[in-house]
Structure 1
Amino acid sequence: MTGPWWQDEPIVTNRRQSLPHTDAKLPTGSDVWKIFKALVGGSSFDIPLPVQLSLPIDELQRRAEELEFSELLDQAAQRPKGSMERLLLVAAFAQSAFQAVGKLKAMVPIMGETYELVLPEKKMRLLVETTYLNIKENRVVNSWMAEGEHWKLEGEDEPSVRFWGTSVEIHLNWIDALTFDDGDVFTWKKMTTGSTVIHPMVSIVPAYRGTITVHNEAFDQSATLQFKDSSSWKSMTGRRGHKNGIKGWVEKGGQRLEKPMLSGSWTDKVVADMPDGSHWTVFEIHPLPLGPNRLGLNLHSMQLNEIGQELEAKLPPMDTRRRLDMRALERGDYVQAAKVADLLDKRWREREKQYTEETGATSLPPLFFELREPDGLSGSQKKIPRYRYKGGYWEARKIGDWSSIPQDVRGLFAE
């Protein structure tokens, strides 16, 4: 009988504490303004953004960013089933997803791409894959499955972006379903719309408006977090020059409770005002690393692209870390990054065209996820993700055999 997976996974030490040095300069506020003026009314697929506006992180890694505070779920697992404390911790985790959002956008993943995050020291691992991507429909779906010692998190997003004058409108279309070992289930959807403000003399400033409601239907209770747009202009040199308020409350049996109440900021901390009069800090961001930090990334995000020899030997050939455009972005080589990004886009489009012409499908199939219902993608999101992990990834990784992956997929990120 074998033990849990984390017992056989070596802990990586001496992780990097900063990104590779580069003399490349970020685009100025004026540069950003000129670019976005040309995009008004367009969608994220209609007009590809220049690589200068992208982080060396793509949308799959954004899902990994959201697990920076997975310890909140570990803490929640130790609280009694159906308890108010567990509900508040899950709500704190749900809102923590927004703290990593920086002033630049993430790169767009391509069909066949995967990303894993394996942290044995936290007894947590994640697999995320682009499960549907169709330019004609202007649709992309990313799906993920993460697991800790006493919990499993499934989720998906189908984001869309439009550009409107001085703002970018972001429709997240996002759902998470969290299951604890004791059978307690929580679901939530991220806010339908967020916006990013652009001005010729300042940076891109993320500002979210709307609510997240975390449901626990078995106990007829929920926690709602309302995001307040209280952003102010800030320069390119600072990551958190503005405040982003949150207030929240709990409902039981459809009735709003006087306490607990939640308040704070998704870029700082969130405090629960408990019924007994105590104050409980349920979430607090980690400080930014010391030293040069031209992209304003926290340490967790900085390490997402790191790939040592031991990890490289285990990763599949289509893992995001193998994207040469991403490596070029880290070096600040925007010319090479743009060249490789165009090549990857061409390869993907050729694969899609051939597959759809031969099969009549609207998208290439995912490798490690499958629809819960054969026609489930056409309907709207319900209370659970439409795609679910079907297995095979961790087994192939353990023995180092990716031969079951089609050759054209394995060659996606080749030079």
Structure 2
Amino acid sequence: MEDSTSFITVITEVCLASLQASLVPKGSDKLKRRARIPDKPNYSLNLWSIMKNCIGRELSKIPMPVNFNEPLSMLQRLTEDLEYHHLLDKAVHCSSSVEQMCLVAAFSVSSYSTTVHRIAKPFNPMLGETYELDRLEDMGLRSLCEQVSHHPPSAAHYAFSKNGWSLWQEITIASKFRGKYISIMPLGAIHLEFQASGNHYVWRKSTSTVHNIIVGKLWIDQSGDIEIVNHKTNDRCQVKFVPYSYFSKEAARKVTGVVSDSQGKAHYVLSGSWDEQMECSKIVQSSPSSPSSDGKQKTVYQTLPAKLLWRKYPLPENAENMYYFSELALTLNEPEGGVAPTDTRLRPDQRLMEEGCWTGPPRRSSGWRRKQPLSRRRRLEICAPGRTEKESDGYAPLWFEKRLDPLTRETAYVYKGGYWEAKEKQDWHMCPNIF
């Protein structure tokens, strides 16, 4: 299949009675969720003074001041991927696999919409830290994340919906300072399966880049090509995150894509931006164009008028003073009863930061933070010679286990069950004391 940017679209004028946006209103939660958090204190940060000695280094191993963080953990940021879950709820009812692919692609792009103003880094989770999102009543889903490795930092995630889909992933974050910018590379495959059809999608995340580390206002960009594959039908979607260029005429944060069937025939063109919206246009005819000045030939797609797949929710009022959190993000660290004792909501340094006590965490949390290196030391003592901490049998996640992925041929942590049953019984005797 040709590169996703090597095409030109021509809209065919037709009269369509229904080009309504496939937007689903957000559900009305029976529980009253909070709509704000304390304003972010106005502390200045000289990022260059911290980063100048870190060029080429893995940033997860470098201590950062608390005011470089936002009061959410990486586990909660992974959970934010589910904000536009209604796209998957809608995709359940698609009779066409290529139409379903359009919604899955829009869902994959929507997970980046929260990053456009979110320059601060999330807290690095403790080993064994968990985060649950139990929103079965209003969102129709339950989600669980667990930090399964500390070095390198790796988190496993599993979510299921009563509407007929499940999603799982193990993501390892690799981040390096390149001199003028920071590259953040999430490694690992994302799986999505629809129970009724058996359609099983797999894709990976794009690279995030934080610019203007030395001087100027920090800003973030997404770049790279991702391929979404339906392993049941072999339908494919090539998605391109177009990197920003000062010399380019392309719109900022542009995303393009083409959905093709197992025979390589293109059915839909995708277009939009990762911070605003995505549209799809049905292809009615395709033909090669004349070669351009550089000798490259593009495919001309004649399409029907575009249909809106997804549009970003507006940010809450005063979001600029609340870390630019979305409505969902504002609720993620809200205290909640009945969660596991390892849940991020119970983490003291992050709670203090959310409350605006930025000078508190390093001083008041030193005792519990010392537990992590001590626990790691015990694990390393029982490691076999030549084995790393992650390979050691001295530590095993509670809720996830390592298995060979038959589709990617990689080993990954997948949910083994038991968490929600333990919550129902309020039996957490197996949980480590990490806080």
- Which TM-score tier does this pair reach, normalised by the shorter chain? 0.7 to 0.9
2:403 is matched with which residue? 372
8 Å Cα contact 1:153/1:179 also seen in 2: yes
User: In structure 2, what is the Cα distance between the partners aligned to 1:15 and 1:122?
Assistant: 13
Amino acid at match of 2:306: H
In the TM superposition, what whole-angstrom CA distance separates every residue of 1:94-121 from its partner, at most 9, and x where no partner exists? 1111111211111101111000011121
User: In structure 2, what is the Cα distance between the partners aligned to 1:165 and 1:341?
Assistant: 32
Q: Percent identity?
A: 27
Number of residue pairs aligned between Structure 1 and Structure 2:
372
In the TM superposition, what whole-angstrom CA distance separates every residue of 1:10-38 from its partner, at most 9, and x where no partner exists? 9552211111245x21435xx12322223
2:32 is matched with which residue? 14
User: In structure 1, what is the Cα distance between the partners aligned to 2:30 and 2:357?
Assistant: 28
Q: What aligned pairs does 1:38-49 form with structure 2 within 5 A after superposition?
A: 38-49=53-64
Q: What aligned pairs does 1:137-176 form with structure 2 within 5 A after superposition?
A: 139-149=152-162, 150-176=164-190
- Residue 224 in structure 1 maps to residue 238 in structure 2: yes
2:291 is matched with which residue? none
3-state SS, counterpart of residue 100 of structure 1: helix
3-state SS, counterpart of residue 158 of structure 1: strand
2:326 is matched with which residue? 298
User: In structure 2, what is the Cα distance between the partners aligned to 1:202 and 1:359?
Assistant: 46
Amino acid at match of 1:145: Y
8 Å Cα contact 2:268/2:281 also seen in 1: yes
> Compared with structure 1, are the counterparts of its residues 381 and 63 closer, same or farther at alpha carbon in structure 2 (3 Å cutoff)?
farther
In the TM superposition, what whole-angstrom CA distance separates every residue of 1:134-190 from its partner, at most 9, and x where no partner exists? 3xxxx1221011001201111111111111111001221131111111211111111
- Residue 263 in structure 1 maps to residue 271 in structure 2: yes
Query: For 2:314, which of 275, 284, 287 is the aligned residue?
Result: 287
> Compared with structure 1, are the counterparts of its residues 206 and 403 closer, same or farther at alpha carbon in structure 2 (3 Å cutoff)?
same
> Compared with structure 1, are the counterparts of its residues 41 and 111 closer, same or farther at alpha carbon in structure 2 (3 Å cutoff)?
same
**More helix, by proportion:** 1
User: In structure 1, what is the Cα distance between the partners aligned to 2:29 and 2:311?
Assistant: 25
Residue 122 (structure 1) shift:
1.4
User: In structure 1, what is the Cα distance between the partners aligned to 2:373 and 2:186?
Assistant: 24
Query: For 2:90, which of 70, 75, 78 is the aligned residue?
Result: 75
> Compared with structure 1, are the counterparts of its residues 383 and 176 closer, same or farther at alpha carbon in structure 2 (3 Å cutoff)?
farther
Q: What aligned pairs does 1:292-371 form with structure 2 within 5 A after superposition?
A: 293-294=320-321, 295-307=323-335, 311-312=336-337, 314-340=338-364, 342-360=366-384, 362-363=389-390, 364-371=395-402
In the TM superposition, what whole-angstrom CA distance separates every residue of 1:295-345 from its partner, at most 9, and x where no partner exists? 1111111111011xxx32x11111000011111111222221233565444
User: In structure 1, what is the Cα distance between the partners aligned to 2:140 and 2:57?
Assistant: 42
- Residue 109 in structure 1 maps to residue 125 in structure 2: yes
1:275 is matched with which residue? 283
> Compared with structure 1, are the counterparts of its residues 254 and 174 closer, same or farther at alpha carbon in structure 2 (3 Å cutoff)?
farther
Query: For 2:139, which of 108, 122, 136 is the aligned residue?
Result: 122
8 Å Cα contact 2:59/2:175 also seen in 1: yes
User: In structure 2, what is the Cα distance between the partners aligned to 1:365 and 1:26?
Assistant: 39
> Compared with structure 1, are the counterparts of its residues 254 and 162 closer, same or farther at alpha carbon in structure 2 (3 Å cutoff)?
farther
Query: For 1:197, which of 211, 219, 229 is the aligned residue?
Result: 211
3-state SS, counterpart of residue 274 of structure 1: strand
8 Å Cα contact 2:319/2:326 also seen in 1: no
- Residue 252 in structure 1 maps to residue 273 in structure 2: no
Amino acid at match of 1:143: A
> Compared with structure 1, are the counterparts of its residues 189 and 21 closer, same or farther at alpha carbon in structure 2 (3 Å cutoff)?
closer
Deviates more, 1:47-56 or 1:349-358: 349-358
1:188 is matched with which residue? 203
- Residue 401 in structure 1 maps to residue 401 in structure 2: no
Query: For 2:150, which of 126, 133, 138 is the aligned residue?
Result: 133
> Compared with structure 1, are the counterparts of its residues 26 and 201 closer, same or farther at alpha carbon in structure 2 (3 Å cutoff)?
farther
Amino acid at match of 2:326: N
User: In structure 2, what is the Cα distance between the partners aligned to 1:332 and 1:39?
Assistant: 28
> Compared with structure 1, are the counterparts of its residues 385 and 89 closer, same or farther at alpha carbon in structure 2 (3 Å cutoff)?
farther
> Compared with structure 1, are the counterparts of its residues 368 and 284 closer, same or farther at alpha carbon in structure 2 (3 Å cutoff)?
same
2:79 is matched with which residue? 64
8 Å Cα contact 1:260/1:275 also seen in 2: yes
3-state SS, counterpart of residue 287 of structure 1: coil
User: In structure 2, what is the Cα distance between the partners aligned to 1:21 and 1:59?
Assistant: 21
1:239 is matched with which residue? none
Q: Which has the larger radius of gyration?
A: 2
Residue 231 (structure 1) shift:
7.3
Amino acid at match of 2:142: R
Residue 45 (structure 1) shift:
3.2
User: In structure 2, what is the Cα distance between the partners aligned to 1:243 and 1:278?
Assistant: 22
User: In structure 2, what is the Cα distance between the partners aligned to 1:383 and 1:94?
Assistant: 22
1:5 is matched with which residue? none
Residue 252 (structure 1) shift:
2.1
- Residue 382 in structure 1 maps to residue 429 in structure 2: no
User: In structure 1, what is the Cα distance between the partners aligned to 2:243 and 2:33?
Assistant: 35
> Compared with structure 1, are the counterparts of its residues 412 and 381 closer, same or farther at alpha carbon in structure 2 (3 Å cutoff)?
farther
User: In structure 1, what is the Cα distance between the partners aligned to 2:122 and 2:242?
Assistant: 23
Q: Could you tell me the TM-score, scaled by structure 2's length?
A: 0.80
3-state SS, counterpart of residue 297 of structure 1: coil
1:3 is matched with which residue? none
Q: Which stretches of structure 1, 4 residues or longer, exceed 6 Å deviation after superposition?
A: none
> Compared with structure 1, are the counterparts of its residues 203 and 103 closer, same or farther at alpha carbon in structure 2 (3 Å cutoff)?
farther
User: In structure 2, what is the Cα distance between the partners aligned to 1:341 and 1:163?
Assistant: 28
Q: Could you tell me the TM-score, scaled by structure 1's length?
A: 0.84
User: In structure 2, what is the Cα distance between the partners aligned to 1:298 and 1:13?
Assistant: 18
For structure 1, the residue ranges without an aligned partner over 5 or more in a row are 1-9, 233-241
8 Å Cα contact 1:196/1:205 also seen in 2: yes
Residue 391 (structure 1) shift:
1.0
CA RMSD of aligned residues (A): 2.3
